[in-house]
Amino acid sequence: MKHPALQRSFLAIALISWGVVLVYFHSSGRIVKYLAPDFRLIALAGGLGLCVLGLFNLLTSRMVAACGHDHGPEDTHDHESLDLHPLAALSIMVLPIWLCTSWTKDGFSISALTRKGLNDTPAEAGALFLSSVLPPLTREIIEAQHPMNSDGYRTFPLMELFFSSADPEMRELVGGMQIVTEGRLVPDPDPEKDQFRLYRLFITCCAADGRPVPIIARFKGEAPAVEPNSWISLSGTITYPDEGEGHIPVLEVDFAKVTEAPMEESFMRGY
């Protein structure tokens, strides 16, 4: 198929399609599920750049330009032919991104979370609390940093509970406190364990490097009937038992409350 203008138009449409997807993710807010804040404007700028470049190529697709060298009388190459049919090339470049955009759930499945470390203990994750560079802590300092709510529970970020279990001083000071924290609730991947995992997804730059940071949740009564991965606030007593895998954070839950998801998936919010 030798229709240079049509071939250039298809390639320009592919560029515009990719740019539109990036701009759409930013404008719709879905970008927060995939990129940390520092990278979102870069993605938006890239999407706008692709749209401008694609539009320029589309508007100039019928223009004829020299290829930069002379052709001999038997030299028939035209710099325009593709190994694929242009429609096939367009489909390969455009269909996958549009299908993924339409079908994605903007989140990880339980099996994907398990592969990313949902079952990891703080010891396996290399969680070392920076006690060597922090001033000595006291229970009074911790209580001042984590005031009680109206129900008598102290608000702790889930990430702090996870990493504190690797520090003996923190375990001694925080263990036994009545605390409240929030995250996504999923059944423990081990069906023999009557417990849940409360986690938040920690993203350094993008969803590809995202990993769940979990604690164990054990309900004193019946567990709430919620869909896996629901956002929930749990109140109870935090302990750090050693059950053969090193000290792990376990929340003995008194009561639970379904809550709205924060705007950020990463640990931008302190509770």
Q: How many CB atoms lie within 10 A of CB 90?
A: 18
The C-alpha angle with vertex 172 and arms to 166 and 177, in degrees rounded to 5, equals 105
Looking at residue 83, its pLDDT comes to: 64
> What is the spatial distance between Cα 153 and Cα 33, in angstroms, rounded to a whole number?
30
Domain-by-domain residue ranges, the chain? 4-69+78-103, 110-258
Give the C-alpha separation, 53 to 180, whole Å: 51
3-state secondary structure 143-188: HHHCCECCCCCEECCHHHHHHHCCCHHHHHHHCCCEEEEEEEEEEC
CATH number for the domain whose boundaries are 110-258: 2.40.50.140
Of 34, 189, 197, 211, nearest to 127 by C-alpha is 211
- pTM over 0.75, yes/no: no
14-66 residue pLDDT tens: 999 999 999 999 999 889 888 888 889 999 999 999 999 999 988 888 876 66
Tell me the pLDDT tens digit for each residue of 128-167: 544 554 567 788 888 888 989 998 999 999 988 988 888 8
State the DSSP H helix or E strand holding residue 22, giving kind and residue range, or none if neither.
Answer: helix 4-28
